[in-house]
Amino acid sequence: MDGSVLFLAMPSVSEALSPTAGQTLWILDVYGFAVGSLLIAFGNIGDRYGRLRLLMTGAAVFGAASAGAAFAPGPELLIAFRALMGVAGATLLPSALAVLGELFPDPRRRAQAIGVFAATFAAGFAIGPVVGGRLLSSFWWGSVFLINLPVVVLFLALAPALLREVRATGSGRVDVVGVPLSAVGILLTVYAIKSAAAEGPAAIPVVAGAAGVVTLGWFVRRQLRLEHPLIDFRLFHDRVFTIAAVTGFLPLAAWSAVAYLGGIYLQSVLGLTVLDAALVALPGAAVLTVTCVVTPAIAARIGTRAALVTCHFLVAAGLFLLPATGVSGGIGWYVASTVVAGVGYGISFSVVADTAVAAVPAERAGAAAAIAETGNELGNALGIALLGSLAALVFRLQGPDLAGTLDETLRIPGLVPAVAEDAKSAFVTGLHTAAAVAAVLHAALGVISLRHLPKAADRP
């Protein structure tokens, strides 16, 4: 809910706090940067020092940071509180999955529990814009951050009674050098890729990217030499795990980019209100949520290999429906696209998490879950940057060249209707291009999964 509602609130944030263009990007991106760069570190810290303790601490910090963001008096403090929310979020995801693994030792029930866990993400994305739209129509922009507080309070009250502390035994010390190496390497690399994709090559992103790659190389070499590494790269010798890890990245990249561009399409091209656009997106989100819940039972019958192959071909099929949308209409095609692709997304979200936790010993569950969640967060962060930038490039090449984005173009005073129509057409072409590229990538990964995953993975 917190992630999906922020795009909705940004116009109000901009009006109230007047952030610069760079500050606006940091408000949107710093959470994903923090989560993606720290998941591996906190997954291992939870394994060693206690997952429930880390969950309780992370939830408390997340609630406090959310309250701080709601009342931030300026963009600088809002960015700082969003970063702190990201740090806290990085403590929650891997530890939550690891605790589920301990609560449900039976593989079949664990798969069902993780499916429900994944479904809550889809449900949050679905209802976030609806709830946010209601809040923004009655309260100030900061109210959207306060939706986190009731959940945090309930968790802090109930978790000590319902959950038990779990920590790994005999797993050695935390790699105090590897923790900052993984965090800094991922942060610098993601920053460089996003900056280059959005603004083109520049000195600072290039230097940051080079430093990030070198740091990650150092991190990988160090992990290969350690007896108790933060990431056990030997897991990637298993083809099922490797393809599942890639599956954790690509669907999130496609979903985030198409959801972001689709929101602009529904509102700025077709002229729907915020709430109407949210309602149009509900069928796909509902299908995604239900699929997350029922996938474990289906995968138990058809096997992991068949589930992974199916999810990629369904996402590709759904994305290939988007080019049927147009400037003057296409809501039906848009809904059909999100519904078909939503089945694929739901399968991937559920299967990836269960595969990561089931593929490793219990004492490494948090670290393995962190690998899957890191792929999800990086996919979410890079999807908008890469596929969104591809759509923006098409818009600049085919549009009227009056502004960098569709919304900026449509706000130009005295804009001629024919020019506005050209701008909308260029944006739709960019949306189609981004969706087609994502569809081709998913189809290719589906073929790779079909050809290279072992037949044994088809057996439950």
Cα–Cα distance for residue pair 229/195, rounded to 1 Å: 31
Query: Amino acid identity of 107?
Result: P
CB burial class (10 A; 0-12, 13-18, 19+) of residue 103? middle
Ranges of H-type helices in 139-273: 148-162, 178-199, 203-225, 239-264
Cα–Cα distance for residue pair 252/373, rounded to 1 Å: 10
HSE-CB for 79 with a 13 A CA cutoff = 17
For the chain of 460 residues, list the mean pLDDT of each consecutive stretch of 10: 72 78 73 75 72 86 94 92 89 74 76 76 74 79 88 90 65 71 80 69 87 92 80 73 80 85 85 80 84 79 81 94 91 94 86 67 62 71 75 83 76 85 92 95 90 60
- The full length of the chain comes to 460
Torsional sign, CA 56, 62, 65, 70: negative
HSE-CB for 188 with a 13 A CA cutoff = 19
Cα–Cα distance for residue pair 421/264, rounded to 1 Å: 15
HSE-CB for 254 with a 13 A CA cutoff = 34
Task: Quote the pLDDT of residue 459.
Answer: 44
Task: Quote the pLDDT of residue 19.
Answer: 80
